[in-house]
Amino acid sequence: MVGKATEETLNRMRHISMRTFSVVGQLDENQERGNWDSPLEFFLSCLGYAVGLGNIWRFPYLCYRNGGGAFLIPYFIMLFCCGLPLMLMELAIGQYSSEGPITVWKLSPIFKGIGIGMIICSSICAIYYNMITGWALYYLYLSFSEKLPWTCCEEAWADERCFSFAKECSSQTPINFTDSAKVQSADQFFHRQVLGITSGFGDIGSFQWNLVIVLILAWIIVFVVLMKGIKSIGKTVYFTSTFPYIVLIILFLRAIVEPGAIDGIKFYITPKLEYLTKAQAWGDAAAQIFYSTGVCFGGSITLASYNNFHNNIYRDTMIVIFGNSLTSIMSGFVVFSILGFMAHYTNTTVDEVVTSGPGLTFIAYPQAVTVLPWSPFWSGLFFFMLLILALSTMFPTVENVATAIIDQYPKVLRPYQFWVTMSICFLMMILGAPLTTSGGMYILQLLDTYGVGYSLLFLGFCEVIAVGWGYGADNLLNNMEEMLPSRPSQLWYYLWRFVTPVVLLFAIIFQLWDLKPMEYRGHTFPTYASQIGWTLTSIPLLPIPIYFIYKFCSSRKEGVSAWKTFRMVSHGSHFEPALLKYHSVRTKINDDDVFA
């Protein structure tokens, strides 16, 4: 009797489970592909994707390098002329078609290579970005100690140049903090103990097993969250996209009471208007827009492709852009208040302690917390925030690659999404293995500068030409009118067709004009490193001309002019909503708007 009752109970539970699953499935507008469970999940995912390490370690430094508060002028101009139009464009085409960054180019088939380039950029970014996630994970682990290991100069990893200004290390602290030969304990700990860094780019050294372990752990975390696709991402973003703001506020309130913090903030916000005449400020502003908004990686297209057809992307774009900019500015206040009191403790000026990138995150911050009471707590809080920021960018980036691959062969691969995601994570982990060597930092710098940095502006220029002129800006506005309560302003037409392409073209010129040999910690990269770098830059860009030529030649028919063939494959007659019920509201494509 008991066994029979148990079996009946299990059958009832299975029946309830099946009914529950059925109800959940019915909530998705797109049954085959799936949707976000709520518009809030999409918004938080976009915000988490856009807000990342660049807001913390790059934006404040660029403000310092380009005239303090004056840098906000080119930043917001570039944001309005490039960041905002590109993000709205990507969200619009993704939501309208419910397609990933490669298959979405049904809108302009001859430019499909742009989508392939986006996925290559995302893949390169994910490979090195998760190594930084691993560093944050390692430092978080080290923070669970009574005394932070970089507080004082330890014989195991320090040399005679090492100094610390923590009180408990006063006996070993040199009197002259301004001695340029001296190196902070956090600096030596990061480079000599954590990285085991070699003398230069040509010396890759051996594997650092502590880095191997944390890289594996970082990829396991990414896979576990992504193995169920957007359904699992949608639940994590409630925490990952909001928690960093709480920590930033706490860190600011803690740092602002320290002596010298106000001096740091003054240094941050004081405008030096003469910098506005320098090409570097405008080039840096354009590059930062791409880093901070995540446009041209394809991630925005992927995230929007899981929306319901009538989701208000116009509203979401405005809020995400505003939230992202606010985060960057807020991060600047936190960073410079910390750098201000660091300058006070070391008896130097703020400009002597300002740094960017890993140097800011894994040297300046860790050194600063050593002088605070409960330093392990503040260190743990900061590196937990850093870990969350890195992961909130990693999740959509890897999902972007998985979505692009699955959308190419949906009937074959969609049932095996779990295995596709696992394969991508495993492959990227293997490709990231060289970053765990003693020379890994030099490889990371090369990937960040050439593999992604220079490619994005070119991709952005090609994308806005393809959509604004190939598919037609007016056609895209018609599509948006089908999805939104009202037609967007005609201002977007002029931005997509004229303003954004011209501004991006000038930004590319500014970047190329300001080219300098790469260096890290005083080590200038050899010439062959630059050659490798430009090869990396070309990899995401080569699919554009290759696919362009292939599509043009394969579509050419006898007796049809080259120009007519080009116009025919420049705009997509098959670019339409995924669901048949929305085909009836479609607006006819205006051929006059295509390269007219």
- Residue ranges of the binding site for Na(+): 48, 50-51, 55, 292, 324, 389
Q: Convert 425-462 to b/e letters by CB count within 10 Å (16 or more is b).
A: beebbeebbbbbbbbbbbbbbbbbbbbbbbbbbbbbbb
Percent helix, percent strand, percent coil in the chain, to nearest 5: 75, 0, 25
Per the annotation, binding residues are: 48, 50-51, 55, 292, 324, 389
CA nearest to 468, candidates 595, 283, 341 = 595
Closest CA to 462 of 550, 540, 577, 575: 540
Helix (H) or strand (E) segment spanning residue 109: none
Using CA atoms, how far apart are residues 415 and 220, in angstroms rounded to an integer? 21
Distances (CA, A) of 255 to 144, 335, 340, 350, 457: 21, 9, 9, 15, 36
Angle at 345 between CA 164 and CA 383, to 5 degrees: 65
Residues facing residue 162 across a β-bridge: 183
Contact residues for 559 (Cβ-Cβ < 8 A; gap 6+)? none
Q: How far apart are CA 194 and CA 213, in angstroms?
A: 12
Q: Which residue has the tokens 């004009």?
A: 513
Strand partners, 184: 163
Beta-carbon contacts of 369 under 8 Å, excluding residues fewer than 6 positions away, are 148, 375, 378, 379, 382
Chain centroid offset of residue 276 CA: 27
What tokens appear for 488 in the block?
Answer: 């967007």
Report the 10 Å Cβ neighbour count for 348. Answer: 13
